[in-house]
A and B are shown apart, each in its own frame.
Chain A
Amino acid sequence: MIEKEVIVIGGGAAGLAAALACHERGVEDILIIERNTYLGGILNQCIHDGFGLEKFNSSLTGPEYAQRYIEKVTKKKIQVLLNTMVIELNENKNLLVTNHAGFHHYRGKVIILAMGCRERTRGAIAIPGTQPAGIYTAGVAQELINLRNYMVGEKIVILGSGDIGMIMARRLTLEGAEVLMVAEKLPYSSGLPRNINQCLYDFDIPLLLSHTVINVKGNSRLSEVTLAEIGKRGGIIPKSKRKIPCDTLLLSVGLIPENELSRQAGVILNPMTAGPEVDERGQTNVPGIFACGNVLQVHDIVDNVSLEAEYITEGVIDYLQGQTNRDQEISIILGNGLRYVVPQKIMIIKDTIFSFRVNEPGKKKTLVFKEWNKLIHKTFFPRVNPAEMLQVKLSREELEGVKTLKARLV
């Protein structure tokens, strides 16, 4: 059994930032465990630019963004295990890991969960039809094209207007494929407006809102998808069915935090975020297990992932120094207009950043925090979009003496 002060599970954007921030705060004994052969996680395949505008004030590509962190991790001599997978984690913070050298037992005073998320597949959204080759999730297609030099197809339909889907539409067009359309089930796009503009409109790719794929056809390879419009009540309009010949279907239909290890350790998961329920500094219900990045909540931009990872390390240090005083608890109740809130509870009263997602797009909205009828805090947003994560900071003074906090959008 090897003992470590802090063990970070996952060497992507969140894990790297969390490990570095712990080091900067004076923790020496840190271990990053990464299951891939390289650090940086999904940033490596996101070769488009637009990362780091908030963090570094310049527009970087994914690999460049990752490199800035990897260099620092190497320079600070933080221990990294590549090609290594954690296969067991329990509530005593014991880990069973495996790599080419066999099985190893580790134990961390603090465990930081930074495993990220994975994509919803065809099975998860249950598209009927045959089972031909040529149906990929957008992220898998991105890895094949950007890292492994395989092309996925020639005539492509994309289902789901998430950011990855739209970015892949542009990438495939530049690689010489024909992207026929991007279909979105909802009446609004689930990606950032800038991506609709620079990925779809720039290349005259139509975005069909309130449309979905209801069937796929093909023997060995996909040959046709059936597209239909969705009516106001959520049902399919039968007359709108049409067949689109194509050889590839990309799915960009949402991300799910990867929480198998968290579950093993007895971490309580929130049904709305699908990530752990955490307190004001990312600590889960298991003392000493923290979570940050996409394993906690699916983020819109990577800068927010890095910032969140740095933010939670304050709690990590407090925990390591024995400040586990849990005298007061505020539970946060979700009101109208909001899909989720992180954190879900507050253990120690201090300045706290709350992250939200809204249910639907809107203009001129105010986020209101109340304890029964008493107004605690409000923030105005000129416009809100489910594609974007909203963040609000409440100060220690505002939270002092509060027992329950209800957040809603009006």
Chain B
Amino acid sequence: MNRPFVCIICPNSCQLKVTYEGENIFDIKGALCDKGKEFVKNEMTNPLRVFVGSVKVNQGDFRLVSVKSTTPIPKKYLKKLGKLTHSIAVDAPVEIGEQITVSGLEQKIKLVATRKVKKRIYAVEKK
């Protein structure tokens, strides 16, 4: 059987033509690099995506810190994970690369902060 794919690894957006039977891939045409082949393999069995979102920060100079999953995660988790990130909050300061673990899915997912958030300085000390 034949199926077209658009590779999402890089902006080249290679348009791939894949010949397959069940889970066996016979031929991939149109890929500029080898990464496309692995992408198709995953896409046929267990599509993976990097999750990006944001998490609330208490007392930060930004109200949110942007986060991403350390590794690509199964596509089916994306929406659930989006909801779960609403219910958590971290305290400022946050450094780039700081880990934030989210539980509630079948597997624990590690997120890392992708922005530096400093502690907010109040002009007048809050009592």
Which A residues are closer than 8 A to B by beta carbons?
A: 44, 47-50, 53, 59-64, 67, 145-149, 173-176, 192-194, 196-198, 202-203, 300-301, 383, 388
With both beta carbons as reference points, the residue of chain B lying nearest to A167 in the complex is identified as B52
Which B residues are closer than 8 A to A by beta carbons?
A: 6-11, 13, 15, 47, 49-54, 56, 62-64, 66, 68, 75, 78-79, 81-83, 86, 96, 114-116
Q: Give A53 to B8 CA distance when docked, in angstroms.
A: 12
B5 CB to closest chain A CB, in angstroms?
8
- The contact of B50 among A49, A62, A388, by CB within 8 Å, is A49
Contacts A61-B68, A146-B54 hold; do A300 and B6 have CB atoms under 8 A apart?
no
A-B contact pairs, 6 of them (CB 8 A): A47-B68, A147-B63, A176-B86, A193-B13, A197-B8, A202-B78
Name the residue among B7, B15, B79, B115 with the largest chain A CB count within 10 angstroms: B115
Residues in B whose Cβ lies below 8 Å from that of A196: 6
Q: Give A48 to B96 CA distance when docked, in angstroms.
A: 15
Contacts A61-B114, A173-B79 hold; do A146 and B64 have CB atoms under 8 A apart?
yes
Residues in A whose Cβ lies below 8 Å from that of B10: 50, 53, 194
Name the residue among B11, B13, B78 with the largest chain A CB count within 10 angstroms: B11
B63 with A49: CB separation less than 8 A? no
With both beta carbons as reference points, the residue of chain B lying nearest to A61 in the complex is identified as B114
Residues in A whose Cβ lies below 8 Å from that of B47: 202
B94 CB to closest chain A CB, in angstroms?
11
Residues in A whose Cβ lies below 8 Å from that of B50: 49, 59
B63 with A63: CB separation less than 8 A? no
Q: Give A48 to B78 CA distance when docked, in angstroms.
A: 13
Q: Give A67 to B86 CA distance when docked, in angstroms.
A: 25
A192 with B63: CB separation less than 8 A? no
A194 with B54: CB separation less than 8 A? no
Residues in A whose Cβ lies below 8 Å from that of B116: 63, 67
- The contact of B114 among A47, A53, A175, by CB within 8 Å, is A47
